[in-house]
Structure 1
């Protein structure tokens, strides 16, 4: 009896051990963290970025002595799968896609490629989820993948992989995940603003030498999957006032060329009303926010600052709307609001969605800003030199 129990125990332990037979060590796997896709001469060019996770772990624990190691692979094919298979020929080890956290599409892909087909081909890999960040770019993908953050930190600490921190400080163009991108490009009448990833050499230096850094410099406007235009961030300032978010934004108040103050807005609330006029929809925008005073350069009353801030926000919304339609892009996404609220009218004016609602008519724009606190400033302090 004792021998029988011993034999059964040994067999049971052996059965449990079989679950670990196919486990691979970390050093035996290639981890792809980013993929970039270009389209040229009717062929897709695929760029992948992989990191040495041993060096990544060291840099994430603190500032490393040397930059994290980065490899960029490149392959091409008539389809995305064909290009990836060609890439496999030189990967040396098993590839794991589960750490993919960023997808970059060039402007040539956005203009000429099959966007939904590309994303569908990529998502069919069982290890890839709908959570990677997605960007457009007009830069070389190799340049984006080899641009490193500060202090020898891991590329995982850059805008490419962690854009939310940057957006919380400068909320103009919201970062986008693949899930949201697919949802928007499939929505009737929806205009998608895909963040544009670029590299700047003009902001930072290291030991008096230019130190390139990643930035979000604008957005690519897409109506469903159709490319419309690229717009710089400076021309999209009005978009932030129509986006539901928790983050506030800073507004520099000025009269002509004279600076007056800087406010930080919080608790933004936007309401878009649709009224019919002569059979056409007119969009009225109401915006409210609470502000705190950050800088005061010229003595103004609280009421005057609130009035200037409201007028400036109203002007930004109107300017962004005008610039968008000059580029044939509904960057304020007003058409989709009509689709949601008055489908019969939208269907009649767009031929069932086959043509865009052009142009959308912007009616009354009203922005109300209430200054809640001036911080350590006194609103009526004397502006005397020290």
Structure 2
């Protein structure tokens, strides 16, 4: 009787257990890696990049016979409507928890609902704040269909893992959704989103290759899109924050018109100090850095190299600042520096989180070259004439 009671009790208990009936099997789901959003003719146009599950576990050596990704496309009056239209053509559950990046077209950022798009993405329970954010003027579909160099898996692409190349050069600082929300919520209520374009300077024996490259930023504010700063006009940004790991600068040496030198700049440290006088605010900027020579054509002194570096870095910082002012952009977040160090003055002067800026607002720009490393050799040429 006792054994019978134990058996019945065990059976009743097992029936009450929920088990794993509602679990989703990994091979029965599609995985989103990237999302593209465009805005045309009053409608949102979305591009959903689904990565091949077969290659996710083989990021180093993917199977060349498998398709790395497929890109779906749909339109709608809202972002959600476009997504639901796309869901109708998908035959398995879509998992968003591994989405690594989102690309906005310039038109999507210009639209007054750009901030609501960001809010929509963040409110969904599967998305995360680590999603990288980009903008472009190129075809979003073409960008999402690119295969990384040497046929690597898409989860190793520059868009999915922008920090992998950060130690080589930090021309444009990567921005994720966390940075985006903070930048828009705190003074100066503007944020620079990396501007991505298609680069065609790679090729194989069979065909020309393509990959993505960052050449500037698109600046978004709470009031809307403020414009693009790119190419040489964007170079000054890398010298104005401490997160730059490494960058290069090229300048002409005295003498021959074709005699140029490229120097690597590292260990950037920036100090911005606001000064208040007669209800006017100016900023004193001190940039400290180390330099390493990459090669020499002629003999050159350390003093000459220092002077050239200082001159060129100052020029690039001023050029970017001037370009941004023309678009009413506080590119170096000077308003935030005043907010952090003298909030009373900031409250008195600010309008919509920003303080008035002029070309003379940076009253002092000092570049300190701590070290000039000549590499394995001295400042004399390796080969004698």
- Relative to the length of structure 1, the TM-score reads 0.91
Change (3 A) 1:109 1:65: closer
**Alpha-carbon distance in structure 1 between the residues aligned to 2:261 and 2:371:** 12
**Alpha-carbon distance in structure 1 between the residues aligned to 2:223 and 2:206:** 44
**Alpha-carbon distance in structure 2 between the residues aligned to 1:297 and 1:167:** 28
**Alpha-carbon distance in structure 1 between the residues aligned to 2:190 and 2:259:** 34
Give 3-state SS (helix, strand or coil) of 2:167's partner: helix
Kept in 1, the 8 Å contact 2:273–2:337? The answer is: no
Structure 1, 185-194 or 376-385: larger mean CA deviation:
376-385
Cα shift at 1:110: 0.9
Give 3-state SS (helix, strand or coil) of 1:179's partner: helix
1:3 and 2:1 equivalent?
Answer: no
Cα shift at 1:327: 3.0
**Alpha-carbon distance in structure 2 between the residues aligned to 1:43 and 1:381:** 61
**Alpha-carbon distance in structure 2 between the residues aligned to 1:90 and 1:381:** 65
Aligned pair count reads 381
1:262 and 2:274 equivalent?
Answer: no
* Pairing of 1:289-300 with structure 2 (within 5 A): 289-300=289-300
| CA offsets 1:25-81 (integer angstroms, 9 cap, x no match) | 2232122221111112221111111011113323x1425333643111111211111
**Alpha-carbon distance in structure 1 between the residues aligned to 2:253 and 2:333:** 30
Change (3 A) 1:373 1:15: farther
Segments of 5+ residues of structure 1 without an aligned counterpart are none
Give 3-state SS (helix, strand or coil) of 2:320's partner: helix
Kept in 2, the 8 Å contact 1:244–1:270? The answer is: yes
**Alpha-carbon distance in structure 1 between the residues aligned to 2:339 and 2:236:** 21
- Relative to the length of structure 2, the TM-score reads 0.91
Cα shift at 1:225: 4.4
Change (3 A) 1:215 1:246: closer
Change (3 A) 1:223 1:61: closer
**Alpha-carbon distance in structure 2 between the residues aligned to 1:382 and 1:88:** 63
Kept in 2, the 8 Å contact 1:34–1:48? The answer is: yes
Cα shift at 1:102: 0.9
Give 3-state SS (helix, strand or coil) of 2:272's partner: strand
Cα shift at 1:132: 0.7
Cα shift at 1:113: 3.5
* Pairing of 1:170-209 with structure 2 (within 5 A): 170-201=169-200, 203-207=201-205, 209=207
**Alpha-carbon distance in structure 2 between the residues aligned to 1:192 and 1:131:** 16
| CA offsets 1:209-239 (integer angstroms, 9 cap, x no match) | 3212111122112233421111113211111
| CA offsets 1:288-325 (integer angstroms, 9 cap, x no match) | 11223322223122232222212221222112111221
**Alpha-carbon distance in structure 2 between the residues aligned to 1:314 and 1:67:** 50
Segments of 5+ residues of structure 2 without an aligned counterpart are none
Cα shift at 1:369: 0.7
**Alpha-carbon distance in structure 1 between the residues aligned to 2:277 and 2:296:** 43
Structure 1, 341-350 or 106-115: larger mean CA deviation:
341-350
Cα shift at 1:251: 2.5
Give 3-state SS (helix, strand or coil) of 1:130's partner: coil
**Alpha-carbon distance in structure 2 between the residues aligned to 1:213 and 1:67:** 19
Kept in 2, the 8 Å contact 1:55–1:68? The answer is: no
**Alpha-carbon distance in structure 1 between the residues aligned to 2:98 and 2:114:** 22
Kept in 1, the 8 Å contact 2:287–2:367? The answer is: yes
Instruction: Kindly report the root-mean-square deviation, in angstroms, between the aligned alpha carbons of the 2 structures.
Output: 2.3
Kept in 1, the 8 Å contact 2:44–2:82? The answer is: yes
Give 3-state SS (helix, strand or coil) of 2:147's partner: coil
Cα shift at 1:164: 1.1
* Pairing of 1:230-241 with structure 2 (within 5 A): 230-241=228-239
Give 3-state SS (helix, strand or coil) of 1:249's partner: strand
Work out which of the residue numbers 224, 227, 230 in structure 2 matches 1:226. 224
Counterpart in 2 of 1:158? 157
* Pairing of 1:206-355 with structure 2 (within 5 A): 206-207=204-205, 209-245=207-243, 247-255=245-253, 257-351=257-351, 353=353
Structure 1, 214-223 or 60-69: larger mean CA deviation:
60-69
* Pairing of 1:5-44 with structure 2 (within 5 A): 5-13=6-14, 15-16=16-17, 18-44=18-44
Kept in 2, the 8 Å contact 1:64–1:151? The answer is: no
Change (3 A) 1:36 1:356: farther
Cα shift at 1:260: 4.6
**Alpha-carbon distance in structure 1 between the residues aligned to 2:299 and 2:181:** 49
Counterpart in 2 of 1:56? 56
Change (3 A) 1:117 1:53: same
